[in-house]
Chains A and B, each alone.
Chain A
Amino acid sequence: MMEKPKKTQEEEQSPPQIAAPDGGWGWVVVGSLFFSSALVFGLIRSLGVFFVEFVQYFGESAQAVSWITSIGLAMQQLLSPIAAAASNVFGTRPVVMLGGFLSGLGFILASQATSLLHLYLTMGLISGIGWALIFTPTVASVMQYFAVRRSLAMGLGFTGIGLSSFAFSPLFQYLVEAYAWRGALLVLGGLSFNMIACGAVIRPLGKPNVVLKTENSSKLNKCSSLLSRIYEGFELSLLSHRGFLTYSIALTFFNAGYFIPYVHLVAHSHHIGFTEYQAAAVISVTGVVDILGRVASGWFSDLGKMRMPHMLVVWTGLLGLSLMLIPAAVVYSGLIVVSLMYGFCAGAMTPLAFAVVPEIVGMERMLGALGLLQLIESVGGLLGAPLSGWLKDHTGTYTVSFIAAGSFLVLGTLVTMTLPYFWSCMGPPPPSPPKRKSQDGSIEGGLLTQTLSSNSAPDTLCPLNDIPYSDKE
């Protein structure tokens, strides 16, 4: 099943596109994404156990302690473009392995902290950098390894987050009780080192993009080649790409609304009078359905019945609708039903939100696009939760904040509908290699267009899925 084209003797003429194996070692990479997302986001979600200990030990307020997670998440998102650029230059494997080392190091240093500032710098800053270096390149690698079953692979990879949220909370509780928070952080640092192993399994599919491009270019002087390396590494040419900009705006809106229920659902349940156990049951049910939604949506979208942007619009529209319905559910059974719908749609949209990127910007620029997207969408995340908190403080109930979250999602859906080639039955034509034709030899450019044009789907087949950039026919 592995149809990797062999490296020919004329390596400088090999195309940047490598066929996606769509199986075989790819599933190992999916496993790597599973563990990485578990150890990054699952870990972040379960840090609440430590916050109680920090508040007691350092005597600080809960808000001051919660900055640790905020810094960590902010670093992870803001540094994504750098992680993508580094992967473009050095390849995914070394970057992810370094990220695993840094994230473990952060926690190990945190175990020696004597003030809250130390925790900000170690758990927040260092580990945050590590997480940034892990997440985006791993996601990009999975997408490189899969073309036809990309969404399913992504969905399966992301189930790690859901499952680890279940497993880590009791585990962390046990660690804190057995070893106090210092020992527990030390053990968690060791656990995070496992992501080095996750990085090690990501076998490169070809030379990193920037290396290829600079090899192919004629020898210019060092200075401009360095600049061009930076430019290529960050894929800044994307900022003039209409589809990319549209999608980044849409993702920002999605992010603004997506996390609000995770933060507010429990409080809302308490607020309208349900007991603690009922509220916890709602969250658990939502989590389970979230996992199911990821896998189901990934599998369904790979069947090719609908184009990926269309599916994304369906799920995000339903998600926005369910968010707006949450305040309307006053009976417990109604709340459960709406939460089920919310959980499923939230899970369903996640793999698609990533998997649709190559269709918009092309496989080549996917890594850089992922990095830039995370950076841009972090704005939504940073604004969304405080805004909804502010709304709650001003109106007294969570109704308005849920409706605001739902409307953010609906806005994002509408913006997604303005994507280029959205209303057509087939996907966008493969992007022509921009601006590099002048630099490269005509042979390479010719090979490139020949490869890509052979991959573009025949125009007559209407409901075909996104174009798999492979040599399969």
Chain B
Amino acid sequence: MPRPRRAQHCCRETALFSMANVRHLILLLLYCDGMNTETTPSPPSDPVFTTRKAVSKEVCFADWATISWHAGQNQVITEELAILTPQNIELLCNLTDIPNNPPNITGYWAKDGQEIENSEETVNRINEQYVLKKTFSIQARDLGNYSCIFRENKAQVTFVLDVPVIKDKRDKPVVSYTRDSVVLECKLKYTPNTWNWYKANNTEKIFNNGNRTKLTILNLSEEHSGKYICSAVFDIKPSESYIELKVLSYTEPLKPFIAIVVEVIVLVTLILLWEKCSKPQHDSSSAGENDVCSEQTTKLTRDESNGVENNTARRRKLDD
């Protein structure tokens, strides 16, 4: 049963990963050791933050995850850890329920697929568990995928250590119009020290909105089109994403609109014209004007046995 251990350092947390072979319940508890090289070691009784040196944005968290993993599946289980500040992290893998219960097994650590030198350890069985742990000092260049691998049964867990990734990226550009305004936004769960926005691969910073995740541009013009990079600055490394902006002039949608309106006008004119042209043939109210017309009328009236046409037929016959 993993427990958070609060010790001398800032909330000391250990990453613990328990693997079992048959019907496994894997408990993952993350501890992060927030010891920063800048701070002085604090006496045990001191509360956590007073010993820190102006790094108030440092985040310590405990992450619990329960995953079931069935025997025979060689899945690689991955857990993502968001690292905001340079720190020491202890990663712990706990393996249980191996068949045959050997007294000891060997395990090693790998970073980004490459085995870390001198990381191989022989793990003894303690209380039916095999615990493999290692402390890593993480700076900006140390971010990556760390895996603990047990040689015997090839069980493997990967911890992905990275700055928080800005998800929700639009792959289509944001479209807006000249003299309109637009809001560009990068969404992130964690609050960075500051946000920076850059335009189009220049290193020149154009807007610095501090804590704002949104960039508002008023009174757009065509020069505003292009790629905008939003950068969330953390202690360890900034996390970046980009948004593309396209500014159109009003004539753009007018083209299909005018085309459709012209088509409608043409259609309506054609329809009404066609009806007018074919109207004289149907118009039989003036008898005798068109020989074909009155012929049709008398023919029809003779065919009708009852109904309206009787009277008119009689009248027509009288007229003829």
Contact = CB atoms under 8 A, between A and B. Distances in A.
Do A and B actually bind?
A: yes
Interface in A7-23: 7-11, 14-15
A441 B284 CA distance: 25
B260 A194 contact: yes
Interface in A176-212: 177-180, 182-184, 186-187, 189-191, 193-194, 196-197, 200-201, 203
Interface string A449-473: 0110010000000000000000101
A148 B248 CA distance: 54
B291 interface: no
A161 B297 CA distance: 41
Given A6-B284, A7-B284, A177 B172 contact: yes
Contact of A180 (B175, B261, B304): B175
Contacts of B311: 10
A190 B284 contact: no
Dominant secondary structure of chain B at its interface with chain A: helix
B256 A190 contact: yes
Contacts of A179: 175, 248, 252-253
Given A8-B312, A179-B175, A454 B257 contact: no
B257 A196 contact: no
Nearest to A4: B282
Contacts of A111: 253
A440 to B, nearest CB: 15
A245 to B, nearest CB: 32
B67 interface: no
A433 interface: no
B22 interface: no
A190 B285 contact: no
Contacts of B259: 190
A193 B307 contact: no
Interface string B264-282: 1001100110010000001
A271 to B, nearest CB: 24
A193 B248 contact: no
Contact of B271 (A10, A191, A193, A200): A200
B177 interface: yes
A196 B21 CA distance: 71
B253 A193 contact: no
Contacts of B282: 4
Interface in B126-184: 172, 175-177, 180, 183
Contact of B300 (A6, A97, A191, A201): A6
A178 B304 CA distance: 61
B206 interface: no
A451 B307 contact: yes
Nearest to B309: A5
Interface in A411-465: 447, 450-451, 454
A450 B307 contact: yes
Contact of B312 (A10, A183, A187): A10
Contacts of B118: none
Contacts of A197: 264, 267-268, 271
Contacts of B253: 111, 179, 182-184, 186-187
Contacts of A6: 284-285, 297, 300
Contact of A203 (B257, B275, B304): B275
B55 interface: no
A87 to B, nearest CB: 18
A8 B319 CA distance: 13
Contacts of B297: 6
A124 to B, nearest CB: 21
B308 A190 contact: no
Contacts of A454: 306-307
A190 B268 contact: no
Interface in B237-261: 248, 252-254, 256-261
Contact of B260 (A5, A10, A97, A191): A191
A177 B307 contact: no
Contacts of B77: none
Given A190-B261, A193-B260, A9 B285 contact: yes
Contacts of B45: none
Interface in B285-318: 285, 287, 297, 300, 304-309, 311-312, 315
A9 B308 contact: no
Contacts of B248: 179-180, 183
A70 B10 CA distance: 55
Given A11-B285, A180-B177, A186-B254, A450 B260 contact: no
Nearest to A11: B285
Contacts of A200: 267-268, 271-272
Given A7-B284, A178-B175, A180-B248, A193 B264 contact: yes
B257 A189 contact: yes
B271 A7 contact: no
Question: Shortest 3 CB-CB distances between A and B: which pairs?
Answer: A183-B253, A190-B260, A180-B175
Given A6-B300, A182-B180, 16 more contacts: A5-B308, A6-B297, A11-B285, A15-B308, A180-B175, A183-B177, A183-B253, A184-B253, A186-B257, A190-B264, A191-B260, A193-B260, A203-B275, A450-B306, A471-B304, A471-B307
10 contacts: A5-B308, A8-B312, A177-B172, A178-B175, A179-B253, A182-B253, A189-B257, A190-B258, A196-B264, A200-B271
Interface of B: 172, 175-177, 180, 183, 248, 252-254, 256-261, 263-264, 267-268, 271-272, 275, 282, 284-285, 287, 297, 300, 304-309, 311-312, 315
Interface of A: 4-11, 14-15, 56, 97, 111, 177-180, 182-184, 186-187, 189-191, 193-194, 196-197, 200-201, 203, 447, 450-451, 454, 471, 473
